[in-house]
Structure 1
Amino acid sequence: MNSKAEALAAAKKRIIELQAQMTNRILQMAVEVEKLLEVTTEREAREFLRVSCNLPTSELSTYVRYRKTLKGSENLLARRRVSFPVLKALVAAEPDAREEILERMDIGARIDAKEISAIRKRLHEAKLTPMQVIAERQGKLAAAVARKASDIVAARFKADLHSFVSSIVDIREAVEIEADDIRATASELLERFESLFGTDQRSPDQHRPRSPAHELACAHLALTHLAAGTLAVAVGAGEIAPGDIHPWLLSLFALSGSAPRESRTEASALRELPSEHERPTVVELCAGAGGMAIGLERAGFDHVALIEFDRHAAATLRRNRPDWTVIEDDIRKLDFRLYRQLEIDLVAGGLPCQPYSSDGYGLGKEDPRDLLLEGVRVVDQIRPRAFLFENVDGLLHARHADHIANVLRQFRRIGYQVEIHRANALDFGIAQDRSRIFIVGMKADLAAAFRMPPTFPERRSNIGDVLVDLMAVNGWTGAHDWARERREQPIRDRSGDLIGHGATASTIVTRRGKPRRKEAARWGGKGVDIAGLPDQAPTPDQASKPGFVPALTARMRARLQNFEDDWEFCGGKQAVADQIGNAFPPRMAAAVGLALHSAIKGVRWDMEAMLWPRANRRHQIISPPLSPVSDTSSGAVVPYAEIVSLLDHATERSFVN
C-alpha cells in the first residue's frame, strides 16, 4: 500500500470514529433531556435548556420531541452514525415518512437531510390527486414569484430612499430644503411608501416611542412635509440641537435599512451632558457606598431614591450627596408601587452578591440574603423603562441555573426583554481584574436600542501608577521603585504565556482576620501585603525593616475601586472596608449607565470623552489617607413616610405644571 492510500485509510478510520462519538453525544443529550422532562414541564425544560445550558433555540425542539418520535431507535441511529441535521429532519418528519426512512437506514442506505426532504415530498404528493399536486406546485410558484417581485420593489425603494435622505441630511437652510427637485422626489417616494405601507398612518404620539410603528409614522411625516416643503416649520419633532440630524430624517434612514454616514454620527456625539437635557430618572436598590450611584450620576441619571439597609453605607451616601433621597430600610419591607406614577426610567442596583460568591458559600436561592426575586417584584411594581442589576461571576454557576432561569422567566412574564452580559473593570481603565455580571432588562420598544458600552483596553492601568502618590505621601522613598516594578511586572495567562505588563488588583477583600493562603500569595506576587488595614501609608521607618511589603490603606483600596479621593466613608474601620470591598467601580457603572441613557433617550455619546472628562487631572493627595467619618455627623435618616409625602407632592406638582 502506497503512502497516499495509507493516509486515506487512516483518515477514514479517524473520521468514522469521530462521527460515532458525535452521534453518541447527540443521543446522550437526548437521554438527558428526557430525564429532565420527567421532573418538569416541557415549557420549563425549554426555558432551562435555553437560558441555563445555552442550548440554541434551533436545537431545542429536536431534543424535546425525540422521545415521542425516535425512542427505541438508538441502536440504529448509532450504527448509521446519524448527524444532528439528519436527526432534526427525522424528528420533524411525518410518521409514515419517518418509518420509511428508518427502514432504508436499516438496510444500509445512505440518508441525508436532502433525501429525507425528497421522501417527505413524495409521500405527501402520493396522498393528493394529480390536480391537487399541480395546484399546490403552481400556488407555491406564484407565491415565490410574488415574494421575489415584492422584495425587488422594496429593495429599490430602500436604495432610492437612502440616496435621497443622504443628499439632504446636511441641508440647514429652509429655502434649500423647499427646492422643487427635493419636493418632487419626496412626493414620488411618498407615493411608493404608501403603496408599500398604506396611506392610513397614525400620529407618532399614538405609538410607543422608538417602536417600529413609531418610526414608520415619523418616516411618513418626514416624506409628507418634505413633499410639501414644510419640514423646517413642522411641529412635533421636539427640540433639535444645532448640528443634529432632524429626528424624522433619522427615521427615514432607519426605514432605508442604513445608518447615516459614520462621520456624521461621530460629529454629533456628545462629549458632555447637555445643560438643558431632560435627565432620565432612576431608583437604586442596595446602593451601598455609592459606586453605582456615582456612575449613574455621571451618566446623566437623576436619582429619585436610593435604598440601602446598612446604616454606615446609608450615612456615606448622605454625607457625600446631601441632596440625594436616601431610604435606610430593607427593600423586602417596602412597597414601590408609589413610584409607578412618576414614570421612572431605570431601576438599578447591586443586589447582594454573597449568595453567589465563593466567600459567601454560594448558597444561591437558599441564602436568606438572596434578593433576585425581590428585584423582580420591585421592577413589577415600578414598571420602569429599563432595569440593571449587577452581580458576581458566580451567578452563572451551574448550581444556580434553575434559579436564574426562573428569575429571567419572571422578568419576561412582566414584559421585559432580558440579556445577561459580562464585563471586566480592566477594560474601563480600572487597575483591577474584576469581572462582573449585568442583568439588563428593557421594555420591548427599547430592547433593540440597547448596546453594551465599548471597552477601552488601551487605557489599561496598573496598581503602581494608580497608588504611587498615596504610597509616597508619608515619605517612603521606595514608593516610585515599587510602582515601577508593578508597572513592568509581566502578566501571563494560565498557560504561562506572556500577555502584557502591569500588575492589577484582585478583588478588594473585606474579610476579617488573616487572608486565605492563596489570596495572600496572589497579592504578595503583586508586591502587596493584603493582611490588615493600616491607618496610614508606609513610613521610612516601616519600609526600612527586612522583608517590608506595603499594605493597602482604606483610601488606597477606594482608589483601586475607582472612587475619587474626596469621597468620604462613614463608620469604623471594618465598616469602611466592607463598603469599599462591596462597591461597584463608578467608571464601570458610568459606562453601562451611558449605554442605558442612550437607549432610553436616543442620545449619542463620545464614550471615551464622557468616561474620562478630566484626562489630565492629577489625583488629589489626602493626608491622612482616609479618616472614617462618624455616623452622627452624616445627617438624619429620612423616614419612609416622609418619602411618600415628598413623592405625592412631586406628582401633584407635575400634574399642576
Structure 2
Amino acid sequence: MTGLTFVDVCSGAGGLALGLERAGFTPRLLLDIDQHACETLRANRPQWSVLNADLLEFDPVDHPEAYDVDLLAAGLPRVRSSATVTRRSSDTEIRLIRATAYLVHAVQPRALIIENVPTLVDEGFFAPLRDFLREELEHLGYSLNWFVLNACDFGVPQDRKQGVLVAVKEQWAGAFRPPRPTVRTHVSVGEALAPSMRSLGWPDADRWAAQATSVAPTLVGGSKTHGGPDFGPSGTKAAWRRMGVYTKSFGDELPGRDFKWDPDLGDEGLVRITVDQTALLQGFPVDWRFVGGKTSRYRQVGNAAPPAVGEALGRAVAEALQTSSPSGAGYTSSP
C-alpha cells in the first residue's frame, strides 16, 4: 500500500503519524502547538514537514501542501466527560474537534480519522458534538463510522480504549471496515519491559517480569495545567503497585545490579520505571527519541496514540481507498 498521503494535526510525539507511515501513507504536513513535540518529530523523522502552530489558528491557504491529500488525521487532546467537564480547558478541546471539521471543508481529504476518548462514541453528553460532526461531514459527502478500539488488542501492552471516528467519502465508504484485533494474546508489562530491566544487570529483572503478567493501566499524560508526570488516579496507582512498581514518580535511570526488589519493604522495595519505558508501553520503537525534560517527555508519551493502533486504522482506510467497489452505507456503532 503506497502512494497515499496525509496531513496530521495535533500530532504530538507522532504515534498516529508513525502508524500511518507503517501502513503506507506519506505525510505532507504535521502540525502541533507544543514546541518539544515538534522537536521530537523532527529528531526522529527529519524528512517530515513539521509546523509548530495552533490548529485553531491554522489556515491551509498558507500551506498548499495540505490540499489534495488522501487522509486528514487528528489525534486530538482528550475531551472531558460530563462528570469532569467543569474545567474550562474542555472548551478548547471541543473547539479543536470543531476546527478539524472545518479544516475538512478546506482540505477535502478522501478520509478523516479523529481519535479521542471512548465516551465520545456513545455517551449522551457528547450527542450534540456527534450531531455537529455528522451534519458538517455528511454535507460534504462523507459517511461516518464510530467505534471503540483497545490498544491491547493490537499488541500494545496497555489497556487503552480509544474512541474513533473514521469518515470516508461516499465513493469509497462501502469498502471501509473498522480494524480487527491483530493479537490473540495480550502483551504483558513484564514481557514488554523485561529486556530494558535486564539491560544494566539487575538480578531481579526476570523475577519481577514474571509477576507483571497483566497489561498496563492507561497512561495519562495530562495537560500543561496539570502538575508533573504521574501515574494517574488512585485506582491506576494501585494496579501498578500490585505489579511491584513505585508510583510517586518515574525513575531517572533503570535499576542496576545493586537494587533489591522487595515489595514487602514498601516504597523502598518497589522498582521505578522510566519515561522511556512508558514509551515502550505505548508501543513506540526503542529508538524513538523524545525531546524535552521529564515532564514534557512523559506528557508526549502519555498523550500519544499508540503507533500500532494508528497502523491498523491506516491499513483499514487504505484498503477502502484502494478499492473500486461501489459506495455503500458505512459501519456505525453509535446513534
Structure 2 partner of 1:351? 76
Separation in 2 of the partners of 1:286 and 1:438? 15
Give the aligned residue type for 2:72: V
Q: Per-residue CA shift, 1:503-539, capped at 9, x if unaligned?
A: 1101113353565332221221233223212111122
Is 1:520 the counterpart of 2:237? The answer is yes
What pairs up with 1:87-236 in 2 under 5 angstroms?
Answer: none
Give the aligned residue type for 1:481: R
- 589, 598, 613: which one aligns with 2:319: 598
Separation in 1 of the partners of 2:91 and 2:255? 40
Structure 1 partner of 2:117? 392
Q: Runs of 4 or more off by more than 6 Å in structure 1? A: none
Identical amino acids, percent of aligned pairs: 34
Aligned 8 A contact 2:69 2:110 in 1: yes
Match of 1:433, SS state, is: coil
Which has the higher Rg, Structure 1 or Structure 2?
1
Structure 2 partner of 1:71? none
Separation in 2 of the partners of 1:472 and 1:601? 44
Aligned 8 A contact 1:428 1:459 in 2: no
By how many angstroms is 1:362 displaced? 6.7
Is 1:322 the counterpart of 2:13? The answer is no
Is 1:586 the counterpart of 2:311? The answer is no
Structure 1 partner of 2:329? none
By how many angstroms is 1:475 displaced? 2.1
Structure 2 partner of 1:566? 287
Structure 1 partner of 2:196? 470
Give the aligned residue type for 1:304: R
Give the aligned residue type for 1:522: A
Is 1:311 the counterpart of 2:22? The answer is no
Distance 1:474 1:340, change over 3 A: closer
Give the aligned residue type for 2:97: L
Which structure 2 segments of 5+ residues have no match? Answer: 325-335
Is 1:485 the counterpart of 2:211? The answer is yes
Aligned 8 A contact 1:362 1:394 in 2: no
By how many angstroms is 1:334 displaced? 1.6
Give the aligned residue type for 1:570: V
Separation in 2 of the partners of 1:362 and 1:568? 35
Is 1:532 the counterpart of 2:249? The answer is yes
Separation in 2 of the partners of 1:541 and 1:517? 30
By how many angstroms is 1:340 displaced? 8.3
Structure 1 partner of 2:218? 507
What pairs up with 1:550-565 in 2 under 5 angstroms?
Answer: 550-565=271-286
Give the aligned residue type for 2:280: R
Separation in 1 of the partners of 2:66 and 2:36? 31
Structure 2 partner of 1:417? 143
Separation in 2 of the partners of 1:579 and 1:366? 19
Give the aligned residue type for 1:518: G
Aligned 8 A contact 1:467 1:559 in 2: yes
Aligned 8 A contact 1:340 1:384 in 2: no
Match of 2:184, SS state, is: helix
Aligned 8 A contact 1:356 1:364 in 2: no
By how many angstroms is 1:408 displaced? 2.0
Separation in 2 of the partners of 1:536 and 1:484? 21
Match of 1:282, SS state, is: strand
Give the aligned residue type for 1:294: L
Is 1:383 the counterpart of 2:92? The answer is no
Is 1:438 the counterpart of 2:149? The answer is no
Match of 2:144, SS state, is: strand
Separation in 2 of the partners of 1:360 and 1:328? 29
Match of 1:367, SS state, is: helix
Q: TM-score, normalised by structure 1?
A: 0.45
Separation in 2 of the partners of 1:296 and 1:568? 18
By how many angstroms is 1:476 displaced? 1.6
Distance 1:340 1:297, change over 3 A: closer
Separation in 2 of the partners of 1:536 and 1:359? 37
Separation in 1 of the partners of 2:307 and 2:15? 5
By how many angstroms is 1:540 displaced? 3.8
Aligned 8 A contact 1:340 1:381 in 2: no
| RMSD after superposition | 2.3
Aligned 8 A contact 1:365 1:403 in 2: no
By how many angstroms is 1:474 displaced? 2.2
Is 1:280 the counterpart of 2:1? The answer is no
Separation in 1 of the partners of 2:77 and 2:287? 26
Q: Which has the higher helix share?
A: 1
Separation in 1 of the partners of 2:90 and 2:202? 48
Give the aligned residue type for 2:124: A
Aligned 8 A contact 2:116 2:162 in 1: yes
By how many angstroms is 1:467 displaced? 0.3
Structure 2 partner of 1:402? 128
Is 1:297 the counterpart of 2:2? The answer is no
Q: Which has the higher strand share?
A: 2
Give the aligned residue type for 1:406: F
Separation in 2 of the partners of 1:436 and 1:364? 23
Structure 2 partner of 1:541? 258
Separation in 1 of the partners of 2:177 and 2:234? 40
Match of 1:542, SS state, is: coil
Aligned 8 A contact 2:12 2:37 in 1: yes
By how many angstroms is 1:544 displaced? 5.5
